[in-house]
Chain A
Amino acid sequence: GAVVSQHPSRVICKSGTSVKIECRSLDFQATTMFWYRQFPKKSLMLMATSNEGSKATYEQGVEKDKFLINHASLTLSTLTVTSAHPEDSSFYICSARDGITNEKLFFGSGTQLSVL
């Protein structure tokens, strides 16, 4: 089946630094990728929709300048948390749609971000 690789799986950083999270579709082309944020024991909250070659569409309440999303190719989308603060600590997970079996969304394994 389709595979989505997300890296890193865990990152600890100091407050004020920036962190980049990569999401790759390994065996299919993903024109659309989604970025979610999940707090402990909570549901997934959509942050933004990433479209290849165009600007991401952010959900209400998500700061565009804080969470930079780039989707430069059909297999790679990145989320950069800029000037991270402790309140940005969370579990971030990406997903991508396989254009062939398009009813399924495949998810990355997630990234646990801890900001000290």
Chain B
Amino acid sequence: AQKITQTQPGMFVQEKEAVTLDCTYDTSDPSYGLFWYKQPSSGEMIFLIYQGSYDQQNATEGRYSLNFQKARKSANLVISASQLGDSAMYFCAMREGSNAGNMLTFGGGTRLMVKP
């Protein structure tokens, strides 16, 4: 079974509007971390936001927020006020266990395209 599922291969959003990128995960470990990364066409991976499984509140970082629904095992990324520079691939990832040195498992990614 897929550990991380991103069901949207591609998304369009109008500039200045908000967009939600879906991510569901599967783990039996009570301790885990969820990450979102942005990958522009240059290929680099840019860390956006992190949510720990025991965090009580949804994570927020500027225009990025993570809609964490633990019972549904979903960790959707919300980007508010989209900008043209937000056009990129977005990857959801999970680290299982409490050891921060554990590897990340990535979802298949969602390509976001922001329309002017």
Contacts and interface: CB of A to CB of B under 8 A. Distances in A.
A63 to B, nearest CB: 18
A41 B109 CA distance: 9
A46 interface: yes
Interface in A26-75: 31-32, 34, 38, 41-46, 49
B47 A44 contact: no
B35 interface: yes
Of the listed residues A43, A102, A108, the one surrounded by the most CB atoms of chain B closer than 10 A to its CB is A43
Interface residues of A, number: 25
Interface stretch (B20-28, B69-77, B80-88, B98-106): B98-106
Interface residues of B, number: 23
A79 B6 CA distance: 29
A44 B101 contact: no
Nearest to B105: A46
B104 A105 contact: yes
B107 A43 contact: yes
B30 interface: no
A41 B110 CA distance: 10
A103 B109 contact: no
Given A42-B108, A44-B106, A91-B43, A103 B50 contact: yes
A34 B104 contact: yes
Contact of A107 (B44, B50, B52): B44
Interface of B: 33, 35, 37, 42-47, 50, 52, 89, 91, 100-101, 103-109, 111
Interface of A: 31-32, 34, 38, 41-46, 49, 91, 93, 95, 97, 102-110, 112
